[in-house]
A = this chain, B = another copy of it.
Amino acid sequence: MEMLSSNQYDLVTNLMSLTVAAMGAAALFFFLSRSQVAPKLRPALTISGVVVAIACYHYFRIYESFTAAYMFADGAYQPTGKPFNDAYRYADWLLTVPLLVIELVAVLALAKPMARSLSVRLALAALLMIALGYPGEVASDTTVRWAFWGAAMVPWVYIMYVLYGQFGEAIQRQPASVRSLVSNARLLVLVTWAFYPVAYLGPELGLAGAQAETFVQVGYTIADITAKVGLGIYIYFIARGKTEAEGYDLTSGSDSGAGSDEQLRAAA
């Protein structure tokens, strides 16, 4: 751990605390917005909410661990000797990254065999990607770090291959009004997920010291907010757009019960 200036420490810890609030707020919003969309699209919002709820918990832990790793002395923040547990990030990703691809597939509401095949393949690749990244992250040997980075990039590339291949074809069968929203959501995954393998290589790229530590913590945090809250907001608007395009009547139904005739016709 490096000594941090007051400004660096404040930036990192305030952003971590803001993230606890942002993730928790997003969870409330996604859960409560379920009744604003057609029943078949609700699982996508449920999963979006679960993802940010998991991240809310982990950012609380990350904040606690980071603040315990430093103490204020001589006008700056000195390491206390208690290590910051960065593994909370991997624990979070191990749970949330597979769920992120599942929520993206869920909002398409595809035919069941296609939905299952896409979800299973993307989620397993996401799980493998995180699991392969971790041994490299904790290794100090540069060769080992590069080896695991390369191994984790294989599922990363596979995920993008599927998102721009089979998933892309499925987008064409979505209502016209939401197609560009889905494409943008996919682009958000491509761009935000690209940040992680770059940040991982920080030490190899010569990033070291207090500034690098600050940059990596701020970068991961902003990437997590964008990848989780940002994607969830896309899912929300896609689900709302599809609900409207399919003529589902929100004034009846919502959480249970038989729909009106109109609604049943629209859902059929």
Q: Which residues of A contact B (CB under 8 A)?
A: 10, 14-15, 17-18, 20-22, 24-25, 27-29, 31-36, 38-40, 42-43, 46-47, 49-50, 53-54, 57-58, 61, 72, 81-83, 85, 87-88, 90-92, 94-95, 248-260, 262-264, 266-267
Contact = CB atoms under 8 A, between A and B. Distances in A.
Nearest to A81: B72
A87 B10 contact: yes
B255 A260 contact: no
A3 to B, nearest CB: 17
Given A88-B14, A254-B253, A257-B256, A35 B42 contact: yes
Q: SS class of chain A's interface: helix, strand, loop or mixed? A: helix
A58 B20 CA distance: 10
A259 B256 contact: no
Contacts of A49: 28, 32
A25 B39 contact: no
Nearest to A45: B32
Contacts of A61: 17
Contacts of A83: 72
Nearest to A11: B87
B262 A262 contact: no
Given A28-B49, A251-B264, 20 more contacts: A10-B85, A14-B87, A17-B88, A25-B54, A28-B31, A32-B42, A33-B43, A36-B42, A36-B43, A249-B264, A251-B263, A252-B253, A252-B264, A253-B253, A254-B254, A254-B255, A255-B255, A255-B256, A258-B258, A262-B264
A43 B92 CA distance: 29
